[in-house]
Amino acid sequence: MKGAPLRPRLESRFHEFARSAPARLVNNGVRVLPASLRLPAILGLTALFAGTALADGFPVPGQIGFQEAVTPIAHELEFFHNWILLPIIVSICVFVLALLVYVIVNFNEKANPEPAQTTHHSGLEVAWTVAPVMILVVIAIPSFRLLTHQLTMPPADVTVKVTGKQWYWTYSYPKDQGGGFEFDSEMIQAADLKPGDIRQLSVDNEAVVPVGKVVHIQITAADVIHSFTVPSFGIRIDAVPGRMNETWFKAEREGIYYGQCSKICGKDHSDMPIAVRVVSEEKYAAWLVKAAKKFASSENSPVHFAANGAPGANRQ
């Protein structure tokens, strides 16, 4: 994948700069932080760097922020978290901490040897009842709006049926949209990885969708409950045997975006990555023609059996 190693290279250069910066600054006559404060400062900058959003659609070690949002729903999720939930919880924590400090300082035995006998205060009780309710209302309004946007399905330009199986995914493209084929998508084993592949995320057959088009995902399962999750798209929906769930996304940028099964579905649960390649309409049309030939149904198609722990049990 082109550009996949970019972030690790940038992080490596950042850490190298962070380690060597104090010496360079001293040599140039610039005052720097004392040695005892350098490590916390560098760790803080490193956390900030690691928490920035990614444009590659996959996580990296040390990351503490969201992956880069590339759909309207993902943008709304990120805004809801960063600008509504985080400020509220930080404010609550700061308030509680300040209250604790105030109580410790003003109501210890030394400062207040004769404690008050107050056991009831109507105004205080009303305040600590009404304030949490108002906080929940502030959270609920944008939360319900976001849920409505997630659950209101716009007209589909592309529909893809996804079936979760132990431990791979099957993608089906309808014939009336240029498809008429399906294929399995399995994780590339570590021994078979090529340059640009990502361990436990790259797959042998990626799902492909066009950029700027509304994609409906119909999700089910053939054995146990799975969960289809792609963070950059802002989607996570359960795959339940015997039930068809549905979600949607509209990718704004081309690229490869990764996800994983988010339900513990058995011993190889960690080996169920999701890879969705977003391409231009022209490339998508060309891929449909090529994929229809590659994945054409035949009586000699491989048959999958339930895994029993034996080597090669997934595919016979």
- Give pLDDT, residue 225: 96
> Long-range contact list for 277-281, CB < 8 A, 24+ apart?
277/206, 277/207, 277/208, 277/209, 278/70, 278/208, 278/209, 278/210, 278/211, 278/251, 278/253, 278/254, 279/208, 279/209, 279/210, 279/211, 279/254, 280/210, 280/211, 280/254, 281/210, 281/211, 281/212, 281/213
pTM (predicted TM-score): 0.73
- Give pLDDT, residue 50: 39
Report the chain (316 residues): mean pLDDT per 10 consecutive residues.
43 45 42 47 42 60 88 96 95 96 90 81 91 95 95 95 96 93 95 92 95 96 96 95 96 95 93 95 96 73 45 43
- Give pLDDT, residue 60: 81
> Long-range contact list for 183-190, CB < 8 A, 24+ apart?
183/291, 183/294, 183/295, 184/304, 185/274, 185/275, 186/314, 187/271, 187/272, 187/273
Residue 224 Cα distances to 41, 136, 167, 284, 310, angstroms: 47, 35, 10, 32, 19
Instruction: Give the CATH class of 68-111+129-297.
Output: mainly beta
Domain ranges of the chain: 6-51, 68-111+129-297
- Give pLDDT, residue 69: 93
- Give pLDDT, residue 62: 85
- Give pLDDT, residue 73: 96
